[in-house]
Structure 1
Amino acid sequence: MTAAAGAYLLAMVRNKIALFFTFAFPMVFIVLFGLMFGGPGQMNRLAAGVVDWGVGNAAMFGVAYSIVQWRRDDLLRLVRTTPTPVTSLLSGWYAVTVGFAVAQAVLLLGVSMLPVFGLTVSAPGIVLLPVVLLFGSLTFFAIGVVVGRFAPNLDAVAAIANCVMVPMAFLSGSFYPLELAPHWMDVVSRFLPLRYLNDAMREVLSGGYDLVVPLSALLGFAVLFGVIGLRTFKWADNS
């Protein structure tokens, strides 16, 4: 697990373009939305949506891209010849994913707390934030494993990830309040994991503790996609 985590971390750091956009792209949304719609109260919703979208996107894209690349380069085939099970490999990758999620959240929320934007975070929110990130990262990491299974090449990973995350962001209320959306959008959002990550993040940023429903939903999605990913996992392109 430790070796897998180290190799995954090294690959992520070496991919400087992807690493840059992992942090810079959500930051653009924070700054733009913050300047246009920020202020006391509003920034909690805006920051939560952008952080959730950034964390989910990075978790899904990172593992999917790595699976396809490692499979293409026959690294997964080499791993299979060792006693390392796929669960140990993915656990190491997930540990790195959580680390990146925490770094993203700290950076984005730190910028959102600048006086010009007006985000306020209570002490309970700071304590519960890592818990939300653990569950959220796990869910989208599991989705990424499924994407990595079915993406035929590296270009397809980005296409599939964008097709999943961009519509989900709008349908889940990341960039637009569901209270102002049509009823059908609220109904659809209840079948999307990002909706529950948004609910959990907004709850902790507002100083609340009511996380049972959103975290349970995230765990359910993680189990569903995790089972699918593990049962269909491919070690090589011709397997």
Structure 2
Amino acid sequence: MSATIALTTSSWRAYLRDKASLFFTFAFPLAFLVLFGAMYRDQELEGVPYVQYVASGVLSWGVANAAVFGTAFTLMQWRRDDLLRLIRLTPTRVPSVLGARLLITLAIAACQVALFIGVAMLPAFGLSPARTWPLLVPVLVCGVMAFLAVGALIGTYAETPEAVAAVSNILMVPMAFLSGAFIPLAAMPDYLQDISRVLPLTYLNEAAMAALNGTDAGATVATSSAALLGFAVVFSLVLLRVFRWDAKR
């Protein structure tokens, strides 16, 4: 536990010093909110104000994106700079490294949610969260765990920042559209809807939307959280087998 706390503390301080990461982690999702909010102001989608729909999608994608990119870049840089090799010489093990990253990512996600919902509730956007909004907490925790494992897998194999960015974007950009984060799944062809069911972001998005809108929130959050935990377990088991401490292995 002490190793996890030490890694968490040092990682958090390093993150706060990285102004570029801070800016893009928080500003990028807000830019999409502003863009779509301005384009579809006062319009409805499936009987729901558009902001109620797009806010959950952009929020889910922003949290997932931060988990993937932040974890992938951190592990790649630590391995490239031989920090992971030095950590391995201590009693620290893989679960401690990933546990520290999980705590950091959960803290970032909490800040993202607070900032994003606060901005979305401004009169310019008009988001009105339902009373079920606290259900965001369990599903976002499960979502962070799943996407952190994805980012760790990318960071385990990618050797350069360019490779991390390329692989992460190849995964996350198509997923943003195929999961219904920006475009309703009902508007997609049947085969794309089928594909969406194997994407973790679909479940994160559906649960976030249900929690914010109050539509069948309890059942949707429970089902989606279980699905996201399933993704997290599978990805983590793979990660534990392929995790690399250094670039030579």
TM-score category of the 2 structures, normalised to the smaller one? over 0.9
Q: What are the residue-to-residue correspondences of 1:58-207 with 2, within 5 Å?
A: 58-125=66-133, 127-207=134-214
Structure 1 residue 38 displacement after superposition: 4.0
Partners in 2 of 1:221 and 1:22 — Cα distance? Answer: 23
Report the 3-state secondary structure (helix = DSSP H, G, I; strand = E; otherwise coil) of the residue aligned with 1:92.
helix
Q: Given the superposition, is the C-alpha separation of residues 38 and 132 from structure 1 closer, same or farther in structure 2, using an over 3 Å criterion? A: farther
Report the 3-state secondary structure (helix = DSSP H, G, I; strand = E; otherwise coil) of the residue aligned with 1:68.
helix
Given that residues 68 and 153 in structure 1 are in contact (C-alpha distance below 8 angstroms), is that contact kept between their aligned partners in structure 2?
yes
Partner residue, 2:218: 209
Runs of at least 4 residues off by over 3 Å: none
The residue type equivalent to 1:28 in the other structure is A
Given that residues 29 and 59 in structure 2 are in contact (C-alpha distance below 8 angstroms), is that contact kept between their aligned partners in structure 1?
yes
CA RMSD across the alignment: 1.1
Partners in 1 of 2:128 and 2:223 — Cα distance? Answer: 24
15-24 or 32-41, larger mean C-alpha shift: 32-41
Structure 1 residue 44 displacement after superposition: 1.6
Provide the identity percentage.
46
Partners in 1 of 2:97 and 2:41 — Cα distance? Answer: 41
Unmatched 5+ stretches in structure 2? 43-47
Q: Given the superposition, is the C-alpha separation of residues 36 and 4 from structure 1 closer, same or farther in structure 2, using an over 3 Å criterion? A: same
Partner residue, 1:221: 231
Partners in 2 of 1:119 and 1:186 — Cα distance? Answer: 27
Given that residues 135 and 215 in structure 1 are in contact (C-alpha distance below 8 angstroms), is that contact kept between their aligned partners in structure 2?
yes
Unmatched 5+ stretches in structure 1? none
Structure 1 residue 87 displacement after superposition: 0.1
Report the 3-state secondary structure (helix = DSSP H, G, I; strand = E; otherwise coil) of the residue aligned with 1:123.
coil
Report the 3-state secondary structure (helix = DSSP H, G, I; strand = E; otherwise coil) of the residue aligned with 2:91.
coil
Structure 1 residue 138 displacement after superposition: 0.7
Partner residue, 1:8: 11
Q: What are the residue-to-residue correspondences of 1:17-28 with 2, within 5 Å?
A: 17-28=20-31
User: How many residues in Structure 1 have an aligned counterpart in Structure 2?
Assistant: 238
